[in-house]
Structures are given as structure tokens and as C-alpha cells.
Amino acid sequence: MQATIKKSFSIEGIGVHTGTKAKVTILPAEPDSGIKFRFAETCKRNGINIPDMSATVENVKGTLHGTTLSNGKQEVKTCEHLLSALYGLGVDNAIIEIKGTEIPALDGSSLPITKLIEVSPQNSKSKAIELKECVFVKSNDASIFIAPSEEFKITFIIDYPYPGINTQYKCFPITPEIYREQIAGARTYAFTEWIDELQEKGLIRGGSLKNSVVIGPDGPLNPLRYEDEQVRHKILDLIGDLSLLGTRLNGWVFAVKAGHTLNIELVRRIKCSLE
Ligand SMILES: [Zn+2]
């Protein structure tokens, strides 16, 4: 069965990259409508009717330290944690009304959003992608492989040369219960040696220890929620990017050191493999 949300709710705060404020309201939507962004403020301010934008891979505009969607007129930055929460909890249909340009970072995880989502089943059959073949993508030492499976599962490996991080491995079947308990709380992270470069690129203007785990040469600067919080966050991000398939997925995903660019490449290749 498809699902939407029972009650509308809003989140507000600054985006991790732009440092600008946004208000986002998530509303229930009809069966088969999918996840769509609605640009409330721009419509009102300029009197221009900007159509809703589907949260699908065709609208991906950027993947640099976050996934940016755009319809050519309006863009939404860093949408992956919100989309991950909806997909992880099995919400097929919702409208995301945004006033601003970047989804609020909140605490750097999707936990505050999952606490607000009440899933409401709809009387319509759900659809899931059944893979015809395995799909493999790679870039340098990062790779992702997806094999047909009766359930949606993710195995992820990361490997950093830092104390307290090193190699982390996790494998989860992605169910709403596991998403809430094992994945949603994992926060985004940055290494202190990345910070100058990210700031030069105009990124992480809203980043702080309140919304990110910062990892220095001796390990994390803030207390961790899980011993292997970073690999769990990578799974959270991958779920958000896979949601851009626009439908549920049956498949077992094996990812090694993958990030948004490769995640999106995988989504595009899965779509091609179905044609
Ligand atoms: Zn993330």
C-alpha cells in the first residue's frame, strides 16, 4: 500500500552550506503523486506561477557535498536528509513547500524530521522497481553495486585514515523501524582539514558543532551518537539519493566510499537499465 503523512508539519532553521534561513512545510498528497517541492514564497512575491518540482533524478542540478534539485527557475539545496526520512519511513506521496533555498540542517541528521512524520497508509497499491540486471558504477576508489533482491538492503563501507574513524562497515535491511532506530540519528560530518577548502568554495557557511560532527587529527571533536556514526550517515545520504528514483526499490546495494555524485550516477544507471 502507498502512504502519505497523516498531518502537515513544519521545520525551520539555517542550511549547512548557505547559512540562510528556510521554512519547510510537509503536507499530505494524493496517491501516485510522488514527492514534490512547492515554491510558496516565490509564487507570492513575484506573482509568477512556478510549477511544483518532482523529487526525481531528472531535476538533480548539483552533487557537491549535498544534492541540489532545480527546475530551471528555482532550486533546493541539501534536500537529501529530508528525502531520506520520507523514503526511509515509507512515505510515497507528499508535498514539500519551501520558503528559502536550502533545507534546514537541524541537528545534521534526519532524526528531528522522523519524529514529526506520522505515516498514513493510502488505499492504493505501491510500486517498486524490480531490477532486470545488476548495475555497477565506479569513480576512482569509490564504487556502488546493486543486485536484484526481494527486499531493500544497503551494505556500506567507508575507510578514512583518521583515529576513531578508520574502516566502518554496516549492513541494514531498510525498514521504517530500522531507519528510525539505526539510521535517522546519524549526523553529517566534516574533517577539520576539509574546512578551509569547503569555505573557499562558499560551502558550510551554516556549519557548526550543533549540526555536524567535526573530526580532527585526533578524532571527533563532539561526542558521537553511535561508534560508527559516519557510515550510518552515509547510508542515510544514500537512501535520500535513491529516493530520487521516484518509486520504491527492491535491491541490495553494496557501496564502498561512495558520495552524492556516485549515488546519483547509480540512480541514473538504474533508470536506464529499466528501459
Ligand atoms: Zn548527509
41/172 same-domain check: no
| Strand duo 21-28 + 9-14: pairing | antiparallel
Report CA(142)–ligand 1 centroid distance (Å). Answer: 17
* Catalytic residue check, 260: yes
Provide the domain limits for residue 62.
3-121
Report CA(188)–ligand 1 centroid distance (Å). Answer: 5
| Full DSSP string of 65-109 | SS-EEE-SS-EEBS-HHHHHHHHHTT---EEEEEESSB---TTSS
165/77 same-domain check: no
55/148 same-domain check: no
132/117 same-domain check: no
**CATH number for 44:** 3.30.230.20
46/148 same-domain check: no
Please report how many Cα atoms fall inside a 13 Å half-sphere around the Cα of residue 109, on the Cβ side: 25
169/262 same-domain check: yes
Q: Last residue of some domain: 121, 156, 185?
A: 121
Rounded to two decimals, the pTM is: 0.95
Under 8 Å between Cβ of 131 and 148: yes
Report residue 250 as a C-alpha cell.
527492491
Each residue's pLDDT, cut to its tens digit, for the chain (275 residues) gives 999 999 999 999 999 888 999 999 999 999 999 999 998 765 555 666 788 999 999 999 999 989 999 998 889 999 999 999 999 999 999 999 999 999 999 999 999 999 999 999 999 999 999 898 999 999 999 999 999 999 999 999 999 887 778 899 999 999 999 999 999 999 999 988 888 888 888 888 888 889 999 998 888 899 999 999 999 999 999 999 999 999 999 999 999 999 999 999 999 999 999 98
Domains: count for the chain: 2
Residues around ligand 1, an ion, CB closer than 5 A: 188, 237
93/145 same-domain check: no
